[in-house]
């Protein structure tokens, strides 16, 4: 077919769900990037303050601890969408249909683990909120930071649900254009794409 779907009807619902979730993932990733910038700024200010002006930021360690979950977790679904988590690909030489099945199996395992983590982290957040848990030094409430963990993992869980749908679709229609799943590319293609992006030439393929 001209649309590259390989006999598969256009998965409009899957595309819309992917687009909506992508906006949420992009927003969380921006917050994570802002948290990294905040920690860099605070770290530099702390070092300069102590070495030059003999001045320290009040509650520095507590602020760092509360900001850490932001950049540690909020970008996890964004990375899953792009397939950029560190991993070892042992199926590079396999046929695409077989690789889609392996990817599906991995996501099925991941969604069970993430589901358990969502429950555990949410109960941990609720417990911190109910008992009024706070940091050791300046008594910052810890529940806002702890709430970020189940939030980020819930978005990741939704991304895994979409990827399961996408992988099942690709197994049924191997020639279709991938939707809601990372594309399967070879090392050579990945290197060419990275070179082209660095040189500002767009897609090298």
For residue 154, give both structure tokens: 């819930």
The reported pLDDT for the residue numbered 144 is 93
Is residue 29 within 8 A of residue 78, CB to CB? The reply is: yes
- Residue 107's SS3 state is helix
Is residue 12 within 8 A of residue 18, CB to CB? The reply is: no
pLDDT tens digits along 115-142: 999 999 999 999 999 999 988 888 899 9
Backbone φ, ψ for residue 71 (5° rounding): -80, -20
The whole-angstrom separation of Cα 42 and Cα 59 is 11
141 forms bridges with which residues in the sheet?
Answer: 134
Residue with tokens 């560190």: 86
The reported pLDDT for the residue numbered 105 is 93
Low-confidence ranges of the chain (pLDDT < 70): 1-10, 85-94, 96, 184-205
The length of the chain is 205
179: nearest Cα among 27, 28, 12, 29: 12
The reported pLDDT for the residue numbered 112 is 97
Q: What is the pTM of this model?
A: 0.80
The reported pLDDT for the residue numbered 151 is 96
The whole-angstrom separation of Cα 15 and Cα 55 is 53
Is residue 38 within 8 A of residue 67, CB to CB? The reply is: yes
pLDDT tens digits along 169-181: 988 888 888 888 8
Helices and strands in the chain: count of H runs, count of E runs: 6, 0
Report the interhelical angle of 12-51 vs 143-172 (nearest 10°). 140
- Read off the DSSP letter of residue 108: H
Is residue 88 within 8 A of residue 45, CB to CB? The reply is: no
């Amino acid at each position: 077919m001209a649309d590259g779907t390989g006999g598969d009807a256009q998965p409009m619902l899957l595309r819309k769900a992917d687009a909506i979730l992508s906006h949420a993932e992009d927003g969380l990733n921006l917050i994570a990037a802002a948290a990294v910038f905040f920690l860099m700024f605070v770290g530099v200010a702390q070092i300069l303050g102590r070495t030059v002006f003999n001045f320290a930021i009040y509650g520095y360690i507590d602020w760092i601890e509360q900001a850490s979950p932001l950049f540690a977790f909020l970008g996890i679904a964004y990375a899953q969408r792009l397939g950029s988590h560190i991993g070892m690909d042992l199926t590079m030489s396999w046929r695409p249909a077989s690789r889609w099945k392996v990817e599906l199996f991995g996501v099925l395992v991941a969604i069970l683990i993430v589901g358990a983590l969502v429950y555990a982290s949410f109960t941990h957040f609720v417990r911190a909120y109910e008992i009024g848990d706070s940091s050791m030094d300046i008594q910052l409430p810890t529940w806002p930071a702890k709430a970020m963990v189940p939030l980020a993992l819930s978005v990741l869980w939704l991304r895994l649900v979409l990827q399961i749908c996408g992988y099942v679709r690709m197994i049924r229609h191997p020639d279709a254009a991938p939707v809601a799943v990372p594309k399967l590319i070879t090392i050579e293609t990945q290197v060419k794409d990275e070179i082209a992006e660095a040189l500002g030439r767009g897609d090298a393929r």
